[in-house]
Amino acid sequence: MEAHHIDDLKESKLTANKPFMLLIAAQLVSNVGDWLHILALLTMVGFKWNATPWEITAISLCMAVPLLLGGAFAGYLSDRFNRKALMIGSDLARAAVVICLVFAGSLWQVYVLLLAKGCMDVLFSPAKSGKIKELVPAAQMDKAIGA
C-alpha cells in the first residue's frame, strides 16, 4: 500500500503543489530583479565613475565575499529561524540596498552596499533550499530541484 502511495506522488504533477509554485514564481521575480540590478549597477559605475577594470573586479568581489564567508552561518540560521520570514526579510533588505545604490556618491559606498546586499543574498539561498524540502514530498524532490 505504501509503495502505491509513493508511485502516486511520483506521477502527480509538481505544478499542483501551490505553495511550491508560489515559491518558484517569487524566485523568478527575484532572479529577474537581481539580473537587472547587476546590469544597472555596472552601467552606473561605468558611466558615472568611469570605473577601471580593477574597480569593476572589486564590485564582483564585494558580491562574492559574503557568499564565501557566510554560507555555513546562513545555513545554521535557516535551520533555527522561520525560513519564509528569512526569505522575505532578506529580499526586502536586498531591495532597500538596491534603492540605496541609486544615491551612492562614491565607489566606496557602492562597495559597502554590495557587501550588505551579499549578506542578504547568503541568507536567502539556504532558507529557500530548506523551504523546498518542507513543501515538496521526498518522492518529487528530483523534479523540484530541477525546476
d(CA 60, CA 11): 43
For residue 13, what pLDDT is reported?
A: 82
For residue 138, what pLDDT is reported?
A: 87
- Per DSSP, the residues of 118-147 read HHHHHHHHHHHHHHHHHHS-GGGHHHHHH-
For residue 147, what pLDDT is reported?
A: 63
In what helix (H) or strand (E) does residue 9 lie, and over which residues does it extend? helix 2-11
Helix axes 107-135, 18-48, angle to 10 degrees: 170
How many helices, marked H, and strands, marked E, lie in the chain? 6, 0
Please give the chain's pLDDT, 147 residues, in tens.
455 445 554 557 888 899 999 999 988 998 898 899 999 999 989 888 899 999 999 999 999 999 899 988 999 999 999 999 999 999 899 999 999 999 999 999 999 999 999 999 999 989 998 999 999 998 888 888 876
For residue 104, what pLDDT is reported?
A: 93
For residue 109, what pLDDT is reported?
A: 96
